[in-house]
Chain A
């Protein structure tokens, strides 16, 4: 007989097969006690949840139905937080009850593989922060800004509803299943669950997707730093600061992480202030005003060196700095928005919501809004973090709901705040900043004329306003600063100066925002290059075994060079693209990220089916089919659309035809070389889209096959192979959520009475 968890429960009347040590208190809350506690609705509890539901409903009503002339930003906070709370309390509980079915009597990898280094039981609240810092970066700060072209409502709905039904579900499931497998990576799980074909396709797709993601993140940094001496100086200084921190931690005071992070933070602030002073001197402006191509090359060289330097010297210290900034900045942004409560004048649906020729990103609302906002709603990249590192640190199985599902809700909240910051600035300014130079003309006069000619309701900007804003934030120009980061920085500066410092502080806040975004991205670029290099080394190692030796320098350097070369090529293509770069490449970023989500969800689907849970399979199938439909439609349009702005090949054909006809300029390309660049770029982008979508369809198809096979096996009673690690009894207890329940408190008190020498498994086995 196939033994599925369902049947085990039915047969023995209780769940699991683990016998825990009778000398110890229980390692899990008694099923019935917990059930009774959860199902008991006291009047206070009813009032609380009714209050949350009413407030959330009111906020959604204000955002979606009333939509007055202006909307106060506080409604975004209420709508999102109330929806998250409801999703967390009710939907994630459904997932826990019917799909993951955690068993706290089982030891987690952090317990049964404990080594004091990689596998360490970590307090749930600390691990929540740790996991959040690993998943959240520049992504949720950039996508919503770009998507604001459509108005505030589509993005808001997708970020909030998407995370509850899709993004957080993916993160939670991947984390849980990886934890049950000793912390195995997504790639390993794909191979196990989907077989050789599906596993290989998933691996290649993951590798390519990482290249695209790193390249486009790098493009965001380049766009933010181009022609900005202040930005180049202060972001450039993060490298010596990190090197100093690395040496400090290795030789001067090992292990003083908090101390060195504080020192690093002070130096970072000094770098921002110093950047302002240096940029005002003639020599400073001279040395540090770099054009985008130079910065891109600098970043490529930096990326290679950073990826082959030892971790302690650059990556580890910058990671501390980046985590430190991340949490600080997000708390600050939330506080500022709640205190300042800016009025939003952007319409719920903009003029571009019903068109497919928006200047910031082309394509219709469906599907392109859903790929433009990936991080914050559904981000496949998280599956790489949720499998691997975090599962090795989880203390109790039940905590994965709080850490996995809850951590993603937190990232979604960051995305909402980024959206609020971006739409709190003037709408004309938004379009002047986010449209490519090919459209705005690059000067304040041409940009103002062009923006006013768009015929957007309530938009009328003057060249003086654009120059004044640039001067306020300490930049030469803010016209066509695409990529989302500068817009967010202006929005943040706009809000923060009302909170602290006034207009005089705007330039500081602007560069503060640029600095932390650059910091997050550089860390992601570094770590991404390293992870990709190891994946490549392992793949080549299947044919040339020598490559599997990670310490073999030539192999490591060659693979690093290949990965850096790959993303570097895409980055240069974006920087030099006559059509604008961000608007042609950003959709590819979102598509790549969500195809990865589709792959991760496919693996989860197969696992859930193999565990014999068919009735609730829809919980996984729903986000999977949505991600699949969105990304495959978006890819289809990018490949086959006859509208040149949307379809890569249509654009390619139009420019090839113009070249064949002997034209010397066409559309926004003003020279033959530029036209040739467009032909080359669109061909590469088009073929990349083709490869992505084909690989993903293979993965999804193999997952569907595995699911069907599981269904058949279940029907005819064949044993289903389970890839989980064997269940071992746990010897510890810890509460599941942020606040312990009364029953958990009682049990914790019981555990406190246990003598220390009994609490942990005694060694001798090492």
Chain B
């Protein structure tokens, strides 16, 4: 029973993570990962700054959406 529940929870988590990835919810985590890996000296953007910057750049860089 408990094992079944654990499998279920893991499944739901996996689906949620996948869905979040498709929506782009993990963009900040990926930015931090890149920042760390690239060995930047300066501090990374905070979460708030990052999302602000992300949508503001889309203003001059629109992404198409299809019919």
Cβ–Cβ contact A258 & B16, under 8 A: yes
B residues sitting closer than 8 Å to A (CB atoms) are 16, 18-25, 27-28, 30-35, 37-40, 47-48, 50-67
Q: Which of chain A's residues have a CB closer than 8 A to the CB of B57?
A: 117-118
Q: Which residues does chain A contribute within 8 Å of B22, judged by CB atoms?
A: 126, 129-130, 133, 323, 327
Q: Across the interface, which residues of A come within 8 angstroms of B27, CB to CB? A: 117, 120, 255
Residue from A117, A120, A138, A388 in contact with B63 in the complex, judged by beta carbons closer than 8 Å: A388
Which stretch from A344-352, A374-382, A709-717 is at the chain B interface? Answer: A374-382
Shortest A314–chain B CB gap in Å is 11
Contact of A117 among B16, B33, B54, B67 (CB under 8 A): B54
In the assembled complex, the CB of B27 is this many whole angstroms from the nearest CB of chain A, namely: 8
Q: Are A384 and B67 touching (Cβ within 8 A)?
A: no
**In contact, B66 and A135 (Cβ under 8 angstroms):** yes
Cα–Cα distance between A123 and B18 once the two chains are bound (Å): 10
* Cross-interface CB contact of A763 among B19, B39, B63, cutoff 8 Å: B39
Q: Is the CB of A551 within 8 A of B60?
A: yes
B18 touches A528 (CB 8 A): no
In the assembled complex, the Cα of A527 lies from the Cα of B65 at a distance in Å of: 6
Q: Please name the residue on chain B nearest to A213 by beta carbon.
A: B67
A-B contact pairs, 10 of them (CB 8 A): A117-B57, A129-B18, A129-B21, A134-B64, A134-B65, A137-B67, A249-B51, A527-B64, A534-B60, A550-B59
**Does A17 belong to the interface (CB within 8 Å)?**
no
Chain B neighbourhood of A581, CB < 8 A = none
Contact A316 B67, beta carbon cutoff 8 Å: no
Q: Whole-angstrom distance from the CB of A222 to the nearest CB of chain B?
A: 16
The proximity string for A residues 219-257 relative to B, scoring 1 for CB distances below 8 Å and 0 otherwise, is 000000000000000000000000000000110001111
Q: Which residues 311-346 in A have Cβ within 8 Å of B in the complex?
A: 311-312, 315-316, 319-320, 322-324, 327
Given contacts A310-B56, A766-B40, contact A261 B63 (CB under 8 A): no
Interface of A is mostly: helix
Query: In the complex, A3→B64 CA distance in Å?
Result: 36
> What is the CA–CA distance of A381 and B67 in the complex, to the nearest angstrom?
8
Q: A257-B25, A323-B23, A763-B38 are in contact. Are A311 and B55 (CB under 8 A)?
A: yes
Q: Contact: A123 with B21, CB < 8 Å?
A: yes
Max chain B Cβ within 10 angstroms of own Cβ: one of A115, A254, A759, A766? A254
Q: Does A92 contact B (CB under 8 A)?
A: no
Q: Which of A130, A379, A528, A761 makes the CB contact (< 8 A) with B24?
A: A130
Contact between A528 and B38 (Cβ–Cβ < 8 Å)?
no
Chain A residue with minimal CB distance to B32? A116
- The one of B21, B50, B63, B66 in contact with A139, judged by C-beta atoms closer than 8 angstroms, is B66
* A250-B62 CB under 8 A given contacts A126-B21, A126-B22, A213-B67: no
A631 close to chain B: CB less than 8 A: no
Task: Kindly state whether residue A523 has any CB partner on chain B within 8 Å.
Answer: yes
Name the distance in Å between A244's Cβ and chain B's nearest Cβ. 16
Q: Once the chains bind, are A138 and B55 in contact (CB under 8 Å)? A: no
Q: How far is the CA of A254 from the CA of B33 in the complex (A)?
A: 18
B58–A379 contact, CB under 8 A?
Answer: no
**Is A530 an interface position by the 8 A CB rule?**
yes
What A residues does B32 contact at CB under 8 A?
Answer: 116
Residues of chain A from 739 to 766 with CB closer than 8 A to chain B in the complex:
759-764, 766
A181 to B55, CA, bound (A): 25
Docked-complex contact A319 and B65, CB < 8 angstroms: yes
Q: Please indicate the chain A residues that have their CB under 8 angstroms from the CB of B55 in the complex.
A: 250, 310-312, 316
Across the interface, which residues of A come within 8 angstroms of B38, CB to CB? 114, 116, 760-763, 766
Report Cα–Cα, A716/B57, bound state, in Å. 47
**B31, A116: Cβ atoms closer than 8 Å:** yes
Complex CA gap A715/B48 in Å reads 58
Min Cβ gap B59→A in Å is 5
B62 lies within 8 A of A114 (CB): no
Is the pair A760, B37 in contact by a Cβ cutoff of 8 Å? yes
Q: Which of B16, B28, B33 contacts A255 (CB 8 A)?
A: B28
**A276 to chain B: closest CB distance in Å?**
28
> Which residue of chain B is the closest to A214 with respect to CB atoms?
B67
A531 at the interface (CB under 8 A from B): yes
Q: Is the CB of B19 within 8 A of A524?
A: no
List residues of chain B with CB within 8 A of the CB of A217.
67
Q: How far is the CB of B25 from chain A (nearest CB, A)?
A: 4
Q: Are A530 and B62 in contact (CB under 8 A)?
A: yes
Bound complex: CA A126 to CA B14 (Å): 12
A389 in the interface (beta carbon within 8 A): yes
A116 contacts B20, C-beta separation under 8 Å: no
* Alpha-carbon distance between A136 and B20 when the two chains are bound, in angstroms: 18
Let me know if B51 and A254 touch, CB within 8 A: yes
| A593 located at the interface, meaning its Cβ lies under 8 Å from any Cβ of chain B in the complex | yes
A526 to chain B: which residues have CB within 8 Å?
65
